[in-house]
Chains A and B, each alone.
Chain A
């Protein structure tokens, strides 16, 4: 069943979503401060013929939500052309299960875009593809060079690693996130712009 206007409007505003968060609000707000839209991104949304409805499936424990949702929020606030509503994934599995990642995973954030008649325009999932690709490359290099991970197969469970190896991996992931945050923020907007450009090409752009 598709999302109706009535269902959409039951979603939380960003302020309401933040108000009900039970953890990680400080991380979300830290990431808000790091978002800097480029003029061409602001211009893209500002030039949309009509506002787009954007339904965001989220949870406050999810790192990808904390990292990527502030980018979409900034675009909405800067242009007034994204009408955002937030839904908790685990309370809205019917919507989630219509937008599974690779048809299997209940990945979040998932942001579903609708036109003014609630025709679905497409959905964006989790994180930019280039970030996933870069992270894979970083891990491949790390397993090949870090002494703590010498001889350990990539398929090993974290429970089968030494404490030092686990710490090295977590440290590398944290460094990767810090080093790629600005590029990731740009890529979120680029991917959403591409999605909307394709969906709206025949009529609105």
Chain B
């Protein structure tokens, strides 16, 4: 299992990676690409990476540095872009 990044105690910016799991059998590509685009525009060079993971069974998860911040199974529906962007900002601040 991936690990969350360590707290920033040195003042250096910690790498932040966002993973989006989307059900490729459900036609969720537009929502996936829209969230990816929102992250790209909000953070330009600041993310360590954006990972897209095709899956099935109705999944739409967003994981930031190993933390599951949105799950369609858990929360229902797609996340608000601003919610995800704020979650990334919080982690960039350390």
Interface of A toward B, CB cutoff 8 Å: 59, 61-64, 90, 105, 151-152, 156-162, 166, 173
Contact = CB atoms under 8 A, between A and B. Distances in A.
Contact of B1 (A61, A62, A63, A160): A160
Nearest to A66: B25
6 contacts: A157-B63, A159-B63, A159-B68, A160-B2, A160-B68, A162-B1
Nearest to A151: B1
B58 A105 contact: yes
Nearest to B3: A160
Contact of B2 (A61, A62, A159): A159
A67 to B, nearest CB: 10
A161 B27 contact: no
A166 B51 CA distance: 14
Interface string B1-31: 1100000000000000001110011110000
Given A152-B1, A160-B2, A59 B27 contact: yes
Given A157-B59, A160-B68, 16 more contacts: A59-B27, A63-B25, A64-B25, A105-B58, A152-B1, A156-B1, A157-B61, A157-B71, A158-B59, A158-B61, A159-B2, A159-B19, A160-B1, A160-B66, A161-B1, A166-B53
B82 interface: no
B27 A157 contact: no
Contacts of A159: 2, 19-21, 51, 53, 61, 63, 68
Contacts of A105: 58
A62 B61 contact: no
A152 B66 CA distance: 13
